[in-house]
Amino acid sequence: SIGARARVALTGTPVENNLSELWAVLDWATPGLLGRLGAFRRHYAQAVEGGQDPAAAERLARLVRPFLLRRRKSDPGIAPELPPKTETDHPVSLTPEQTGLYEAVVREALAEITGADHMARRGMIVKLLTSLKQICNHPAQFLKEDRPKITGRSGKLELLDELLDTILAEEASVLVFTQYVQMARLLERHLAARGVPSLFLHGGTSVTARESLVRRFQDGEVPVFLLSLKAAGTGLNLTRAEHVVHYDRWWNPAVEAQATDRAHRIGQTRPVQVHRLVTEGTVEDRIAALLNRKKELADAVLGTGEAALTELTDAELAD
């Protein structure tokens, strides 16, 4: 134990995946406030995370409020010089090729999932979700093609091209985030073929190269910066960008918000436009709805991300 008269915990994301994270922070800072973890899960977390009892969220908020001091850049007086941020969800349709792949993968996976035991079933669902997300991005990503034809096969890519045409015509700069390095490489190749200069930063980028890429972007040498979400979502100052594109969606809004904040941060002097690409009638609709529910929960109470989707029934999966 720590021999101190008082304890203070500092975090930017008290809840990133589930309420047990909030319990862990407060159990260290104010031991006993929320009881034992099992009781906390039964009395609060399960009801709040499942959206079954809105009153439970309010009860929890009242309990922890005296022990939390929450400050956001958007709060009055915190960062008055920070320009506004506008967020837009852009719906996009699958191409015929994407639709065929999507339906075939769903049919095959549902046949395997039905009747599988619990642990095997969860693994199959995670694999299915990953495959469907990749199909929504681009068929070449899912099919792992070595030298693919890129144009004309992805509704998302067509929409991205339209956005980039507008952004570049305004002589603005843009960050494009994707969770998949393979997809970023496809985008890099596609942009090069179109004559659009771009940079690409991912988890394998060395510290020296990383600093060089950031400097070149901030100096305005290149207008498009492709970034791996988990590798570049924190710790970078990219205020040259006036636009942020989330090409695909992560499982919780805190990660996406941190990525957006590479541009929308102290030092930014221009309004920031955030664009999220969401493929209609697909798993991405479900992910978007899941993220919206998380954002609506009181006092940074978030849900369980990918794990919540692995618990869907066979009927819900088919839907």
d(CA 88, CA 290): 16
Asked whether 38 and 20 are in contact (CB, 8 A), the reply is: no
Q: Do the domain assignments include residue 300? A: no
Q: Give the model's pLDDT for residue 129.
A: 92
Q: Do the domain assignments include residue 174? A: yes
Instruction: Assess whether pLDDT exceeds 70 at residue 306.
Output: no
Give tens-digit pLDDT for 142-176. 999 989 999 999 999 999 999 999 999 999 999 99
305 backbone dihedrals φ, ψ, rounded to 5°: 60, -135
Q: Do the domain assignments include residue 59? A: no
Work out how many domains the chain is built from and give that number. Answer: 1
Mean pLDDT, rounded, for 183-191: 98
Of 135 and 302, the one with more pLDDT = 135
Give tens-digit pLDDT for 220-251. 999 999 999 988 877 899 999 999 999 998 87
Q: Do the domain assignments include residue 103? A: yes
Asked whether 288 and 91 are in contact (CB, 8 A), the reply is: no
Give tens-digit pLDDT for 35-52. 999 999 998 988 888 777
Q: Give the model's pLDDT for residue 296.
A: 61
d(CA 72, CA 53): 27
Instruction: Assess whether pLDDT exceeds 80 at residue 72.
Output: no
Q: What is the CATH number of the domain that holds 234?
A: 3.40.50.300
Structural domain span for residue 114: 85-281
Q: Give the model's pLDDT for residue 232.
A: 84
Give tens-digit pLDDT for 261-293. 999 998 899 999 999 999 999 999 888 887 776
Label residue 192 by pLDDT band (50, 70, 90).
Answer: very high
Q: Give the model's pLDDT for residue 74.
A: 66
Q: Do the domain assignments include residue 101? A: yes
Q: Give the model's pLDDT for residue 262.
A: 95
Give tens-digit pLDDT for 79-123. 677 899 999 999 999 999 999 999 999 999 988 888 788 788 888
Mean pLDDT, rounded, for 60-73: 82
Q: Do the domain assignments include residue 165? A: yes
CA atoms in the 13 A half-sphere facing the CB of 193: 11
Asked whether 175 and 227 are in contact (CB, 8 A), the reply is: yes
- Cα→Cα distances 75→71, 78, 155, 158, 294, Å: 7, 6, 37, 37, 20
Give tens-digit pLDDT for 20-36. 988 999 999 999 999 99
Mean pLDDT, rounded, for 187-204: 97
Asked whether 174 and 167 are in contact (CB, 8 A), the reply is: yes
